Amino acid sequence: MQFFSTPMYSYDLLEYENTRLNNLMIPTDIDECMENRPLPCSQHCLNMVGGYRCSCEPGFRARGPRCYDLNECLQDVCRSAQRCQNTRGSYRCIDLCLPGMVLADNGTCVDVDECSLEVTCQHECRNTFGSFHCTCPIGYRLLGNGETCEDINECTEQSVQCGTNRMCFNMRGTYKCIDTPCPAGYQRDVRSGFCLKTCLSNEVECSLRPFALEYKLVALPSGVAANQDLVRLVAYTQDDVMHPRTSFFTVQNDTGMPFGLRDDTGKGVIFTTRQLLEPRIYALRVRAQSYADDSSVEYQTTFVVYISISTYPY
């Protein structure tokens, strides 16, 4: 009879022993970048078999495990008209050009023509070295904002004396002495400046004359649009009260004038009929007739209106 013996280890146990022996023979790498605390590198750590390597961001230089800022300004990285300012991990080139100058491609500072840019001068822009300034036409002054032009009222600021029966007409950019005579039988009222009738009312010729002659001066910029109200005329009684029943109509005016006239609740309104573009002076004569309760003519007033149009739209 033949006998067989049973092995001491099962298959699973033998496999376990073999695996254990193999693990003892093959070393396992340690990830120093993960296991070391604190981290071995100041910025980037790259694990390698049996060790590790430190690296730095651009703009830094590695010295061992630590990263130190690289001073790029020592490498002459900016142009001649710039100053180099080192920053952490980088640098900045600062222009040394004065205000109103710009750095050209060749590294020099050149003047900027601000007038070729979007400046807001109302009249004219003049470029200067490193800057610019706005100018105004003769008869205007530059306001404090350095951009806007304002008409100079020569009549008041220069105390212009035009003489007897003349008025100083301040226009946009200039002035003119206008003849404003009082006809025979009229006398100028010192307070209002009107020419008031002085003849006897019982005289037939006197009764047909207007009670008052009034001069008005209007200075406008160029470009005023059509259908714009310009002047409101008012007829007054001898008691200096606005007459409520008054009609207005033009007399002895040149045809083709760019103005119209309409009644508006007892007032006469002069308005534009087309855009005002031509620089010139117009003279309009308007008659106002005020009526009594019985519809008879009670007062007549003549207005002479001078309207000047400027060369400029301001």
88 lies in some domain:
no
Q: How confident is the model at residue 3 (pLDDT cuts 50, 70, 90)?
A: very low
177 and 305 co-located in one domain: yes
pLDDT digits (tens, 9 = 90+) for 255-273: 789 999 999 988 999 999 9
59 lies in some domain:
yes
Beta bridge partners of 231: 270
Please count the other Cβ atoms lying within 10 Å of the Cβ belonging to residue 91.
19
State yes or no: pLDDT of 97 exceeds 50: yes
The CATH number of the domain holding residue 53 is 2.10.25.10
Q: What is the mean pLDDT of residues 169-192?
A: 90
184 and 272 co-located in one domain: yes
CA distance 134 to 131: 11
92 lies in some domain:
no
Which residues constitute the domain of residue 136? Answer: 113-151
Contacts 24+ apart (CB under 8 A), 235-243: 235/288, 235/290, 235/299, 235/301, 236/212, 236/301, 237/290, 237/299, 238/211, 238/299, 242/266, 243/290, 243/298, 243/299
187 lies in some domain:
yes
190 and 235 co-located in one domain: yes
200 and 280 co-located in one domain: yes
17 and 50 co-located in one domain: yes
| Distance spanning both ends of the chain, measured CA to CA | 137
39 and 141 co-located in one domain: no
177 and 267 co-located in one domain: yes
Q: What is the DSSP letter of 139?
A: T
144 and 180 co-located in one domain: no
Taking only Cα atoms into account, the Rg of the chain, rounded to an integer number of angstroms, comes to 48
User: What is the number of structural domains in the chain?
Assistant: 3
140 and 186 co-located in one domain: no
Residues of the chain above pLDDT 70, percent: 89
167 and 141 co-located in one domain: no
* pLDDT value of residue 227: 97
The CATH number of the domain holding residue 200 is 2.60.40.60
15 and 56 co-located in one domain: yes
39 lies in some domain:
yes
The structure's pTM equals 0.66
State yes or no: pLDDT of 14 exceeds 50: no
200 and 295 co-located in one domain: yes
Per the model's pLDDT, the better-predicted residue between 231 and 98 turns out to be 231
